[in-house]
Amino acid sequence: MDDKKIEEAVKLFLEGIGEDIHREGLTDTPKRIAAMCKEIFGGLNQDAGEFLSRTFNAVNNEIIIEKDITFYSVCEHHLLPFYGKAHIGYIPDGRVLGLSKLARTVDTYARRPQIQEQLTAQIADDIMKYLKPKGVIVLLEAEHMCMTMRGVKKPGTLTTTLLGRGVFENNTELRNSFFQLLK
Ligand SMILES: Nc1nc2c(ncn2[C@@H]2O[C@H](COP(=O)(O)OP(=O)(O)OP(=O)(O)O)[C@@H](O)[C@H]2O)c(=O)[nH]1
Ligand SMILES: [Zn+2]
């Protein structure tokens, strides 16, 4: 990441909104934002393949679900946060992942400028690509600040996105057992 560019951009932006960039509260803000970007956009420098490639033998091929994975992302249209929970289920085909790797995959793609549908798809596609399970299903529920603090201003609205790959693509029974286990 280019700290200098971020700092210059923040100064210009603050001037643009009519702020005095030399007042005490703002003098360190460009540096703070450059440091913050490393956290909230850190996924841009990460490759989920590095940890998704660490698989081990499955005990059986029953469904595995990791639910309520908290995530924070930033909408690419307004650069405002959207945040919520990710729920992931997969049916192994001989190999499984360490549980933490599902949450790491969510973080890798959440920490980028995003839209929710794309985030959902990137998580599902990478799990298919590296683990090669029989199927994976990803459900994301999030609140978008661009819907609440500006624009249409509807606090409390929850956006849900769902994507199934492999056996979850069109098997209603399997999808329903995922929903059942989330309750
Ligand atoms: N599909 C989708 N839309 C999103 C997401 N995040 C934000 N948006 C929407 O992106 C749209 C951008 O619409 P535009 O009309 O280009 O921008 P805008 O004038 O700021 O839109 P308003 O929010 O309606 O004021 C808005 O409707 C947002 O609600 C997302 O993750 N997925
Ligand atoms: Zn937005």
Catalytic residue list contains 116: yes
Q: What is the number of the ligand closest to the CA of 83?
A: 1
82: phi then psi, degrees, rounded to nearest 5: -130, 145
pLDDT by residue (tens digit) across 32-45? 999 999 999 999 99
Give the closest residue to 43 by CA, choosing from 100, 98, 106. Answer: 106
Catalytic residue list contains 122: no
Total of domains in the chain: 2
CATH number at 111 reads 3.30.1130.10
pLDDT at 159: 97
- Say whether both 82 and 140 belong to one domain: yes
Give the ipTM of the model, two decimals please: 0.89
**Domain range for residue 102?**
48-182
- Say whether both 65 and 27 belong to one domain: no
Taking residue 180's Cβ as centre, other Cβ atoms within 10 Å add up to 8
Catalytic residue list contains 22: no
Measured from the CB, is residue 145 less than 6 Å from ligand 1? Answer: no
**Mean pLDDT in runs of 10 for the chain (183 residues)?**
98 98 98 98 97 96 97 98 98 97 98 98 98 98 97 94 97 96 95
Which of 19, 118, 143, 146 is the catalytic position? 146
Cα(71)–Cα(133) distance, rounded to whole angstroms? 23
Which of 8, 39, 50, 77 is the catalytic position? 77
Ligand 1 closest atom vs CA 78: 20
